[in-house]
């Protein structure tokens, strides 16, 4: 049913399937990876070359707590109220993605319904995705066994992440834990999963004392494991540079980091975006594929035209459907002048460069 709806929509829009297909062959040299580098998924470790046949979505969520969006809305409202000096008003409606009713039709995004999830992942694979990163963890309410089952039954390689999210979601003990204790807790998560990334590691608005402590600990864990780091920045991209500063101060190489949600920072000069790129890190445009993503097209094109295509990563953050980055956002970039070769580098090569690492700890 979902495939039929998509095909009918494309026909109505006058767009052929070929126009949105992600080209995967015929583009010069593939990236060179270090000897022994792997992309660590829940199923197994892959050589990076094995996942070069399709796109990788670097920031998605397959499982979140039913009240995740309630907390998200409340925290956002509190920030807005503080800036306006007015009482916070929150949306207490249940998160629509937390679907526990198998009678409902499949829907995009995190769900408790395995059949709905498998339908989404099948659509995602058909769109040209060969790997997906689940950027959630325990404090976001991720059900890792649900994610394992989805990976196993769909056959789609899924990378699991370790970490702590941001101040509104931290477990209470974070406030009293030492940095050393957080490092140990993170390493325990890394080994138990096993994790293929650290993320999403966030700051909600202005960085708090606890968030800085967690970022320092994450930096130390990255150095001990060589895992990539995926971050969450407050809207609009607040603390992006400070996040990278803290990680670099801990010894993290910028090329192991993607600063997330910078599509929300709609600055025509793309000053922060260029600064992140110049320092060697990746810029995450990770809420792509929805109705409002046209405002990111000029930002992306400015960065491509400035020579920073190799520092860009795209994903949907489960906000619009896992396939929509490819089927909705990429056509907009092509219409704006982005070449198939550049889009291939961004969707296929760049995420493998981020995720591929030489393990410093054995797979548990």
Cα 130 to Cα 149, 258, 283, 344: the distances in Å are: 17, 20, 21, 13
Question: Does 26 map to a domain?
Answer: no
For 13-48, b where at least 16 C-beta lie within 10 A, e where not — what string? eeeeeeebebebeebeeeeebeeebbbbbbeeebeb
Count the alpha carbons within 13 Å of 228 in the hemisphere toward its beta carbon.
Answer: 33
pLDDT of residue 201: 98
Q: What is the DSSP letter of 219?
A: H
Return left, alpha or beta for 297; rule: phi > 0 is left, psi -120 to 50 is alpha, else beta.
alpha
Distance between start and end Cα atoms, the chain: 40
d(CA 312, CA 314): 7
pLDDT reading at 324 higher than 80? yes
Question: Does 12 map to a domain?
Answer: no
Domain of residue 274, CATH code = 3.20.20.140
pLDDT tens sequence across 119-135: 999 999 999 999 999 99
pLDDT of residue 171: 97
pLDDT reading at 102 higher than 70? no
Question: Does 21 map to a domain?
Answer: no
Question: Does 302 map to a domain?
Answer: yes
Question: Does 8 map to a domain?
Answer: no
Question: Does 13 map to a domain?
Answer: no
pLDDT reading at 105 higher than 60? no
Question: Does 262 map to a domain?
Answer: yes
d(CA 188, CA 240): 27
The percentage of the chain sitting over the pLDDT mark of 90, rounded to a whole number, equals 78
Read off the pLDDT band of 7 (50, 70, 90).
Answer: very low
Average pLDDT, the chain: 88
d(CA 224, CA 56): 25
pLDDT of residue 109: 81
pLDDT reading at 94 higher than 50? no
pLDDT of residue 30: 80
d(CA 357, CA 300): 27
pLDDT reading at 358 higher than 70? yes
Contact 243, 215 (CB under 8 A): yes
Question: Does 293 map to a domain?
Answer: yes
Q: Are strands 257-259 and 229-232 parallel, antiparallel or unpaired?
A: parallel
Other beta carbons within 10 angstroms of residue 257's beta carbon come to: 29
Read off the pLDDT band of 58 (50, 70, 90).
Answer: very high
pLDDT top residue among 16 and 354: 354
The percentage of the chain sitting over the pLDDT mark of 70, rounded to a whole number, equals 85
Placement of tokens 């992140």 in the chain: 276
pLDDT of residue 277: 98
Read off the pLDDT band of 24 (50, 70, 90).
Answer: low
pLDDT reading at 108 higher than 90? no
pLDDT reading at 325 higher than 80? yes
pLDDT tens sequence across 250-264: 999 999 999 999 999
d(CA 113, CA 153): 13
Residue 307, C-beta contacts closer than 8 angstroms, at least 6 positions apart = none
Q: Got the DSSP string for 83-140?
A: HHTS------SPPTT----TTSPP-SS--S-HHHHHHHHHHHHHHTEEEEEE---GGG
Beta bridge partners of 60: 134
Contact 57, 129 (CB under 8 A): yes
pLDDT tens sequence across 197-228: 999 999 999 999 999 999 999 999 999 999 99
Beta bridge partners of 43: none
Cα 87 to Cα 79, 205, 300: the distances in Å are: 10, 18, 37
Read off the pLDDT band of 297 (50, 70, 90).
Answer: very high
Q: In this structure, which long-range contacts are made by residues 333-342, counting pairs with CB atoms below 8 Å and at least 24 apart in sequence? A: 333/297, 333/300, 333/301, 334/19, 336/297, 336/298, 336/301, 337/301, 338/300, 338/301, 338/304, 340/23, 340/27, 341/23, 341/27, 341/28, 342/304, 342/309
Angle at 326 (CA atoms; ends 287, 262), nearest 5 degrees? 25
Q: What is the DSSP letter of 357?
A: B
Contact 222, 252 (CB under 8 A): yes
pLDDT top residue among 25 and 121: 121
Number of domains in the chain: 1
d(CA 143, CA 66): 11
pLDDT reading at 187 higher than 80? yes
Range of the domain at 346: 35-355
């Amino acid at each position: 049913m979902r495939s039929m709806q998509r095909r009918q929509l494309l026909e109505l829009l006058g767009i052929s399937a070929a126009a949105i297909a992600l080209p995967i062959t015929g583009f010069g040299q593939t990236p060179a990876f270090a000897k022994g580098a792997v992309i660590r998924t829940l199923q197994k470790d892959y050589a990076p070359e094995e996942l070069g046949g399709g796109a990788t979505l670097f920031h998605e969520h397959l499982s979140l707590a039913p009240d995740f969006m309630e907390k998200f809305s409340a925290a956002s409202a509190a920030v807005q109220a503080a800036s306006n000096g007015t009482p916070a008003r929150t949306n207490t409606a249940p998160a629509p993605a937390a679907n526990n009713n198998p009678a409902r039709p499949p829907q995009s995004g995190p769900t408790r319904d395995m059949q709905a999830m498998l339908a989404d992942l099948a659509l995602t694979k058909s769109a040209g995705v060969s790997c997906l990163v689940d950027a959630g963890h325990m404090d976001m309410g991720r059900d890792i066994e649900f994610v394992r089952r989805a990976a196993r039954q769909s056959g789609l390689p899924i990378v699991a992440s370790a970490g702590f999210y941001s101040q509104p979601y931290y477990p209470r003990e974070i406030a009293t834990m030492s940095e050393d204790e957080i490092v140990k807790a993170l390493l325990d998560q890394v080994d138990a999963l096993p994790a293929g990334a650290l993320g999403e590691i966030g700051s909600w608005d202005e960085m708090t004392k606890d968030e800085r402590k967690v970022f320092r600990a994450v930096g130390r864990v990255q150095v001990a494991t060589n895992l990539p780091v995926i971050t969450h920045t407050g809207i609009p991209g607040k603390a992006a540079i400070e996040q990278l500063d803290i990680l670099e101060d801990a010894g993290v190489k910028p090329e192991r980091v993607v600063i997330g949600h910078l599509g929300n920072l709609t600055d025509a000069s793309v000053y922060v975006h260029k600064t992140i790129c110049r320092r060697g890190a990746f810029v995450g445009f990770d809420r792509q594929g929805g109705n409002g993503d046209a405002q990111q097209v000029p930002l992306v094109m400015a960065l491509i035209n400035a020579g920073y295509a190799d520092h860009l990563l795209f994903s949907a953050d489960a906000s619009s459907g896992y396939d929509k980055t490819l089927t909705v956002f990429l056509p907009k970039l092509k219409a704006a002048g982005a070449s198939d070769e550049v889009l291939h580098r961004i969707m296929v090569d760049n995420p493998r460069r981020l995720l591929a690492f030489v393990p410093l700890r054995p797979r548990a």
